[in-house]
Amino acid sequence: MQTVTVAIADRDPGRRKKLEQLLKGGAGIEVMANVMNASGKAHSRKAAALNAACTEDIVLEVSRLRPRILFFNLDSFGSASLKMIEALNRECPDTFIVVLTEGLIEEEQILRALANGARGYLTHEADRCYFLKAVRVVDQGEIWVSRKMLGRIMDKVCTDISLLGRGSLDFAR
Amino acid sequence: MILLASSSQDNLSRWERSIHHLDPVFVSKNLALLNDQLVRGKPQILLLDRDFPGIDGSEGIAILMKLSLETKFIILSQTVTEEIEWELFRIGVRGCCRSDIEAEQLSSVVEAVGRGELWIRRSLSWRLLNELVTMTREQNRIKRTVSQLLSNLTRREYEIATLVGNGESNKQIARRLAITERTVKAHLTEVFRKLDVADRLKLALIVKGSVSSSTTTQAEH
C-alpha cells in the first residue's frame, strides 16, 4: 500500500492533536508537520491583516510540504475560509482538501467550500474509519461527499447553468 | 405517487414488486399514457426504462421532464456508458441504474432519490463536483469584471442601476429618489453607455449578478 501524506490545518491544538493521533494509527498514512506553525506568526498581527497573512502563510507551508491530503477545519478561519480553500486549490493543485466541520454547520457553507475546490468533508465527530477511508478515496482522485450533498451540487449546477445562460457570461467576455 | 414506465411487462412487474411498499405505484406502457400521467399525476418519482418506445435519447427525456418539473427521474437501462449517464445527469436526472437491479437495491435507490439524494456512480461524482468548481471560478471572474465596470459609475448612477436591478420602473425610481423621470432617463443613458449595454433587462441581470453577492462593489461607492 502506497503511503499517503496528510497535513492538518486547524487552529485548535487539542483537536488537531486528536486527529493526528487518529490518522497515525492508519496503515500507509504519514502525518506531516503542522501547517499551523507558519500561521502562528500571524496571531500577533492585527485583525485586518490577520486573514490575508494567515492565508499566505498556510499556502506557503502547504506548497513547501506538499501533502497529498489537507484536512482543513472550516471553523478555524472564519470568513477567510473560502478564499483560503480557493487559494490552496489554485496554488497547490497536487494537494486535495478535505474540509472538517462541527456537527451543526449549514449545508450551504459546505457546498461553498466544495465549490471553491474542497474534495470532501467530514465532521469531527465522524467515526475513525471514515477518516481513514476518506484519505484513501480522495487520494485515488475520488471525492468524499454524501449522496445528499451530491443532490445539492446537482441542483446548484443546474441553477448556475440557467443563470450563466442568461446573458451575463457574454457580457463579461 | 411513483410512476413506472417500460414497454416490458417483465421489468414493470419486477420494479413494482421492489417498491410497492413505498408509495402508490402506477404504470405506463406507452408514451401517450406516460405524458398524461406526468401532466395530471405529477408523480414524485418516475422510474423510466431508457428503451421506452417513442423517447429519443436524452433529448426525449428532457422533453418529458418539462411536463412535470417536480418529478424526480430515475433512468433504468440494460447497459449505459459513463458518457451517456453523465449526459442524463446534466439534463437533471436524479438517478441511473441497471434495469435488472436487485429488488432491495432498487428500493434503496428510490428512497434515496426521494430524500433529495443523487444516485450516481462514484467516477461521475468527481466530474459533477469539478463542474461546480469550474462554474464557480467562471462566476467569480464575471463578478470581478462586473465589479470593475460598476466602479466606473457615479454614486447616483450606481444607485439607479441597482434599483433597475430590483425591477423598478423609471417612475418608481424617480419617486424613490425624489428626482424627475427625465433625470432618471439621463442617468440611465449614461449607465448604458459606460457599461456598453443596450437595454435595462441586461443591466438588471448584470447588476443582480454582481450586487447581490458582492459587498465590495457597494462599499466602493
Residue appearing with cell numbers 474542497? A118
User: Quick one: angle between helices B122-150 and B200-211, nearest 10?
Assistant: 110
Answer whether B202 sits within 8 Å of A147, measured CB to CB. no
Q: How many CB pairs under 8 A join A and B?
A: 84
**Tens digit of pLDDT for each residue in A24-41?**
888 889 998 777 765 554
Q: What burial class does residue A48 get, using C-beta atoms within 10 Å of its C-beta: 0-12 exposed, 13-18 middle, 19+ buried?
A: exposed
Can you give the pLDDT at residue B172?
95
**Tens digit of pLDDT for each residue in B34-52?**
999 999 999 999 999 998 9
CB-CB contact of A138 with A144 (8 Å):
yes
| Cα distance between residue A79 and residue A9, in whole Å | 15
Q: Does A102 touch chain B (CB under 8 A)?
A: no
Out of A153, A161, A164, name the one closest to residue B129 (CB): A153
Mean pLDDT of all residues in B202-210? 79
**Tens digit of pLDDT for each residue in B54-70?**
888 889 999 999 999 99
Distance (Å) of CA A139 to CA A29, A102, A131, B136: 11, 23, 12, 23
Residue type, B171: K
Q: What ipTM score was computed for the predicted complex, to two decimals?
A: 0.80
Residue type, B104: E
pTM over 0.90: no
| Cα distance between residue A64 and residue A72, in whole Å | 17
Give φ, ψ of A172 to 5 degrees.
-80, -10
**Tens digit of pLDDT for each residue in A97-141?**
999 988 777 888 999 999 999 999 999 888 989 999 999 999 998
**Tens digit of pLDDT for each residue in B112-157?**
999 999 999 888 888 999 999 998 888 888 888 888 888 889 999 9
Q: What Rg, from alpha-carbon coordinates, does chain B have?
A: 25
Name beta bridge partners: B27: B4
Give φ, ψ of A97 to 5 degrees.
-95, 130
> Of chain A residues 118-157, which have a CB less than 8 A from chain B?
119, 141-143, 145-148, 150-154, 156-157
Question: What letter would DSSP give residue A103?
Answer: T
Does A79 have pLDDT greater than 90? no
| Cα distance between residue B193 and residue A111, in whole Å | 37
Distance, C-alpha A94 to centroid of its chain: 13
HSE value, Cβ hemisphere, 13 Å, CA-based, for B135? 22
